[in-house]
Amino acid sequence: MTRPPGNPALTPFGTTIFAEMSALAVEHGAINLGQGFPDTDGPREVLDAAKAAIEGGRNQYPPGPGVPELLDAIATHQRRFYGLDIDPATEVLVTVGATEAIFSTILALVQPGDEVVTFEPYYDSYAASIALAGGVRRTSVLRFPDWQVDEASLRAAFSDRTRLVLLNTPHNPTGKVFTRAELDLVSALAREHDAWVVTDEVYEHLAFDGRAHVPMSTLPGMRERTLTISSGGKTFSTTGWKVGWVSGPAAAVAAVRAVKQFTTYVGSGPFQPAIALGLGLGDQMYAALSASLSAKRDLLVAGLRAAGLPVAVPDGGYFVIADAAPLGAVDGLAFCRELPTRAGVVGVPVSVFCDDVEAARTLVRFAFCKRDEVLAEAVRRLAALRG
Ligand code: PMP
Ligand code: GLN
């Protein structure tokens, strides 16, 4: 065969950094603060509900849009937390994690040559999904350690070819929770350029220090041009279940469903009623989750600082970014590839989420969704590295 296999659109992406770094963690028995997944289980009721669904025989294809009780639970959740009214029958679609929601939404909206505006550093699947749709990525850089939106560069990223803005708040990897003023700016630019806004809100329940998560679709004039994506993975510590969803105007959700029906067809059956049950749990569950993660954030931030690293304190999410230059990092990717053998710790280089690699040259992302003793041991190892 003369032509090599592989989709040329994916050539620049190689293997995801999460797979590479998790493999290194296993190979070297290192502490994995790379890939963002908790090392403890979430609410017992949610786990039991999945077991009950299997025992109850819910083991065949569920309906394509999602099981009715999950569609209802998502609509109820949006009303309960944000005052949004969405029709579970036409304005919600259950997906295989937020990842499929992102991919299918981009494929549904973006035609070859259309431009997609996003902030960088960006979550890695954004760039690959845009490339597979034949879209063109236009970014605005958030800079360490404040991650403030730079209005001039954001404006410059928009053009008459802008089809959509891909926003993520709370943001991975920076932990930034976009301010109301920043959301207003994005919303104004989207309306000016008649663009869709796709918001990835998978960390919606992980905004810390009393910060409120504000969904883009609650802003004036935005409900009709916003598709909102979330997932049960972070909220219920079930990242391996891959139950996500997208909600928005019926016609747009139908367009996403048209893509989904030929990629995964339906999502996994027994996990859907379990996530539905989880979404209905009391406020105490949600408060405890955010309190636990913000305490872990504090622990890791203090430990990294004690190890001599400049740190950007995250407002939310699972991750903290530190500058590893004091540990001798010159290139973050090379540094992270060596870290498992040098220190027995795994982190993720932020530059892999950037077009402007220089803006993140020595920055490393560490996950704090781990047991306290694991975080303590990781920072002890990093401090020892400094000598
Ligand atoms: N978006 C962001 C910002 C993420 O951090 C992640 C990782 N969980 C995802 C999407 C993917 O979510 P899921 O595991 O539900 O596919
Ligand atoms: N969202 C998680 C992270 O950013 C896991 C991503 C993945 O494995 N695709 O680490």
Tell me what the mean pLDDT of segment 72-82 comes to.
98
Q: Is the pLDDT of residue 240 over 80?
A: yes
Q: Is 367 in the pocket of ligand 1 (CB under 6 A)?
A: no
Nearest ligand (C-alpha, residue 200): 1
What's the pLDDT at 386? 80
Tell me what the mean pLDDT of segment 187-198 comes to.
98
123 CA: nearest ligand 2 atom: 4
Q: What percent of the chain has pLDDT over 90?
A: 96
Q: Is 140 in the pocket of ligand 1 (CB under 6 A)?
A: no
Strand spans (E) along 40-81: none
Query: Pairing between strand 162-168 and 115-120?
Result: parallel
Distance 202 CA to ligand 1 centre (A): 6
Nearest ligand (C-alpha, residue 103): 1
What's the pLDDT at 40? 97
172 CA: nearest ligand 1 atom: 3
For 8-42+284-384, which CATH superfamily applies?
Answer: Aspartate Aminotransferase, domain 1 (3.90.1150.10)
The answer to whether residues 244 and 232 touch, using CB atoms and an 8 Å cutoff, is: yes
Q: How far apart are CA 267 and CA 122, in angstroms?
A: 26
Nearest ligand (C-alpha, residue 231): 1
Which amino acid type is present at position 239? T
Q: Is the pLDDT of residue 39 over 90?
A: yes
DSSP conformation letters of 78-119: HHHHH-----TTTSEEEEEHHHHHHHHHHHHHPPTT-EEEEE
Interhelix angle 44-55/271-279, nearest 10 degrees? 150
pLDDT interval class at 2 (50, 70, 90): confident
Q: Which residue has the tokens 């949006």?
A: 78
Q: Which residue has the tokens 């993975």?
A: 233
Q: How far apart are CA 44 and CA 249, in angstroms?
A: 34
Q: Is the pLDDT of residue 4 over 90?
A: no
Domain boundaries, the chain: 8-42+284-384, 44-279
Residues 123-178: tens digit of each pLDDT: 999 999 999 999 999 999 999 999 999 999 999 999 999 999 999 999 999 999 99
Distance 364 CA to ligand 1 centre (A): 19
Q: Is 101 in the pocket of ligand 1 (CB under 6 A)?
A: no
**HSE-CB for 195 with a 13 A CA cutoff:** 28
The answer to whether residues 361 and 143 touch, using CB atoms and an 8 Å cutoff, is: no
Distance 170 CA to ligand 1 centre (A): 12
Q: Is the pLDDT of residue 15 over 90?
A: no
First to last CA, the chain: 54
**Alpha-carbon separation of residue 245 from 19, 105, 254, 346, 347 (angstroms):** 23, 11, 13, 30, 28
Distance 347 CA to ligand 2 centre (A): 12
Q: Pick the residue whose CA is nearest to atom 1 on ligand 2.
A: 36
pLDDT interval class at 372 (50, 70, 90): very high
168 CA: nearest ligand 1 atom: 3
244 CA: nearest ligand 1 atom: 15
Distance 232 CA to ligand 1 centre (A): 10
Q: What are the start-end ranges of the H helices in 307-330?
A: none
Q: Do the two domains 8-42+284-384 and 44-279 of this chain adopt the same fold?
A: no
Nearest ligand (C-alpha, residue 123): 1
Q: How far apart are CA 79 and CA 86, in angstroms?
A: 8
Architecture of domain 44-279: 3-Layer(aba) Sandwich (3.40)
Q: How far apart are CA 18 and CA 124, in angstroms?
A: 9
Residues 95-126: tens digit of each pLDDT: 999 999 999 999 999 999 999 999 999 999 99
